[in-house]
């Protein structure tokens, strides 16, 4: 895990992978309109040079959504956000992502920070096994460089505000430390209302709070091309 963090900061991988932001939403139900809340964040924050990838269960069969999530993860992203239902092991009752998927993730150093705007994926004190957030950060061949996740239950209306608070700071100009963005999101949430103050205690940072988010887009240092040959 330490090696991943050091390499993320000292040996950033070139390419456009960290221009991407992946938004994943569970199906709309009485708990919330997850798609709408992510669309709101997309409209507010995703503009040039950022590129958004939207994977919404309401628009796709569960099997297709799952395939798209795994494919997007392999390509890499700056941030991957999920809103919906979850457990210690998985996103959604439809199993859009499961802890058993983690070993197959081979995204190398194209490592996202994961924002799990849901319940229980950060239940780090489980006595028997690692949770989804933990295993993604621990995974050696890829996974995530860091995660923000909950060790308990919460309301979608609070998750939505926390998510937007993180984004507001994370995409600000200049260097932004991971921990600063998390703390700022919590302070922003509390400043708006004290109705969700339990989230201040149940949301945790997995990774290095001093790590700078890799927002610098680096092109490849060289390129190659093949000539077009026309036979007449």
| CATH number, position 72 | 3.40.50.1460
**Residue 60: which domain range?**
2-206
Q: Answer yes or no: is 188 within a domain.
A: yes
pLDDT at 29: 97
Q: Answer yes or no: is 197 within a domain.
A: yes
Q: Answer yes or no: is 57 within a domain.
A: yes
pTM of the predicted protein model: 0.93
Q: Spell out, as residue ranges, where the chain has pLDDT lower than 50.
A: 225, 232
Residues with Cβ < 8 Å from 216, sequence gap 6 or more?
Answer: 12, 18
Q: Answer yes or no: is 225 within a domain.
A: no
Rg of the chain over Cα atoms, rounded to whole angstroms, equals: 18
The total number of structural domains that make up the chain = 1
**199 with 150: CB under 8 angstroms?**
yes
pLDDT at 227: 53
Q: Answer yes or no: is 67 within a domain.
A: yes
């Amino acid at each position: 895990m330490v090696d991943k963090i050091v390499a993320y900061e000292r040996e950033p991988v070139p390419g456009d992978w960290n221009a991407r932001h992946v938004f994943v939403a569970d199906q709309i139900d009485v708990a919330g309109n997850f798609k709408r809340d992510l669309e709101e964040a997309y409209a507010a924050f995703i503009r040039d040079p950022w590129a958004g990838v939207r994977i919404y269960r309401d628009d796709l069969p569960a099997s297709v959504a799952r395939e798209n999530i795994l494919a997007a993860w392999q390509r890499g992203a700056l941030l991957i956000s999920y809103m919906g239902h979850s457990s210690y092991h998985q996103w959604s009752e439809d199993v859009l992502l499961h802890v058993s998927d983690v070993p197959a993730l081979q995204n190398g150093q194209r490592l996202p920070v994961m924002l799990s705007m849901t319940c229980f994926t950060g239940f780090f004190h489980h006595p028997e096994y690692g949770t989804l957030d933990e295993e993604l950060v621990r995974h050696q061949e890829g996974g995530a460089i860091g995660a923000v996740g909950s060790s308990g239950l919460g309301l979608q209306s609070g998750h939505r505000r926390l998510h937007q608070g993180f984004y507001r700071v994370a995409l600000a100009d200049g260097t932004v430390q991971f921990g600063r963005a998390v703390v700022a999101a919590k302070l922003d949430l509390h400043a708006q209302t004290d109705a969700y103050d339990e989230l201040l205690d149940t949301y945790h940072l997995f990774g290095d709070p001093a790590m700078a988010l890799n927002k610098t887009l680096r092109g490849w240092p060289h390129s190659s091309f093949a000539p077009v040959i026309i036979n007449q």
